[in-house]
Chains A and B, each alone.
Chain A
Amino acid sequence: MDTQWPRWEVFKQDTPHKPHQAVGSVHAADPEHALLTARNVFARRPQAVSMWVARAEDIYAWTKEEIAQSQLLQAEHDRAYSPPSSPRKYLVFRKTSHKRSMTFVDHVGEVEARTPEEALAQAQTTFTDAEALAWWVVPADKVYQTDPSPDTIESWFAPAKDKTYKQQQFYATVGSHISKHKLGRGVEDDECC
């Protein structure tokens, strides 16, 4: 029996006017649990106002190279496959730079489509302001968000503002340079730092 909990991708929004960005993943039993663990892992210190989670298996992802290679194949696939008739909403995420290390794709908007492939095609023609290195599309009803109420923002995200990262040097007795300790143990703080 597989005892692993499913993997969820986590999207964090830093301020109300920034997009949700993929910041990493958590393992969790269900959507609420995923949001709780995501908050602990990704928003204890950095700024945040909202988080989304989606199960990794509900995310359809393509890199630029994969799209280039699969275009012919995809055309075949589309002909053979008859999509469900009613369109649904997909959230679209895009990666535009290799330079960023802490985030992967950014939320760029929504499209209405009958299949993930159709959503990708629409995304490619809709969001053209920058070159896409990778696309993610996720059915909107598979994305779970933190409660947007002020109470939740206050208890989930506001305390982080008072918790700054401390460099090792902050703890002078632990992190000060070795040369400061040449006089040996028991040196007074004002002399050694």
Chain B
Amino acid sequence: MTSAVKEALIAKLTALADDEVILAHRNSEWTGHGPILEEDIALANIVQDELGHATLWFGLRQQLDGSDPDRLAFFRDANEYRCCELVELPKGDWAFTMLRQYLFDLYEALWLEAARHSSYPPLADAVQKIIREERFHLQHTQAWVERLGQGTEESNRRLQQALDMQWGYAQQLFVPIPGEELLVAEGIVPDLARVKEGWLEHSTRHLQNAGLKLPINPGYQPTSRTYHTEHLWSILAEMQSTARWDAEAKVW
């Protein structure tokens, strides 16, 4: 592996992990506040799974540069994070949270499907572990999109509002990071343009079947993972405060 490819792979793994960490932490805000106990538990399960995926991605990065996953998660500042802006947005109502998780799960499931035969064996191995859980997540969140979309006038309206807000943000999932073309050329990660084709086809069909209208004007579409919304600072302040309070702590 050339140093340019290695550097790009480290950056890609960081972006993959950061999306999972921030989305997981965002959704963990529902713990104890879910609409019913069963869904509270279900979303907490998804959160734990996504954190597990982040651990796998950070683990792959560690093999390449020796970085400590906990240091990366808890001691990096917001401007060093490489998550997309979609996952940073406040959790909103249940429709907002379920729609975001659906759009992300669909992207992740399709990306993983395409990454199964990665030429980098450690990545292919990680994909095998993650893809099983992601398929189940997707079934759960697409069921919610269908039910909220076809439920009541109010649930449809709330879901439509969430879609109008998120559709542009979601497109950032398919913007390659600098150097990603090197990884695609080596067969290490899939081409995001191809993944996006499948995502658009599936999501358009499912959202329309659920009675939603795709926004004619997609709105703001972030393009660089070096820029963030103001929400990232506050979520990191909360997430990292305990670890940073006493970085040398051995016992709690």
A-to-B contact residues, CB < 8 Å: 5, 26-30, 32-33, 36-37, 39-41, 44, 151, 154-156, 158-159, 162, 173-174, 176, 181, 185-189, 192
Q: Are A32 and B41 in contact (CB under 8 A)?
A: no
A159 to B134, CA, bound (A): 10
Q: Are B250 and A159 in contact (CB under 8 A)?
A: no
A103 to B71, CA, bound (A): 43
Q: Are B135 and A151 in contact (CB under 8 A)?
A: yes
Q: Are A29 and B250 in contact (CB under 8 A)?
A: no
Cβ–Cβ < 8 Å partners of A176 in chain B: 251
A38 to B38, CA, bound (A): 8
**B124: interface (CB < 8 Å):** no
Chain B 214-250 against A: per-residue CB contact (8 Å), 1 yes, 0 no?
0000000000000000000000000000000000111
Instruction: Return the 7 tightest CB-CB contacts between A and B, nearest first.
Output: A155-B135, A40-B42, A37-B38, A155-B136, A155-B132, A26-B38, A36-B140
- B147 partner, pick from A29, A40, A162, A181, beta carbons under 8 A: A29
Also in contact, A41 and B132, with CB within 8 A (given A36-B140, A186-B248): no
Q: Are B249 and A185 in contact (CB under 8 A)?
A: yes
24 contacts between A and B (CB under 8 A): A27-B36, A27-B38, A33-B147, A36-B42, A36-B139, A36-B140, A36-B143, A37-B41, A40-B41, A40-B140, A41-B38, A41-B42, A154-B132, A154-B135, A155-B135, A159-B49, A173-B250, A174-B252, A185-B249, A186-B248, A186-B250, A188-B250, A189-B250, A192-B250
A29, A40, A176, A181 — which one has the most chain B CB atoms within 10 A of its CB? A40
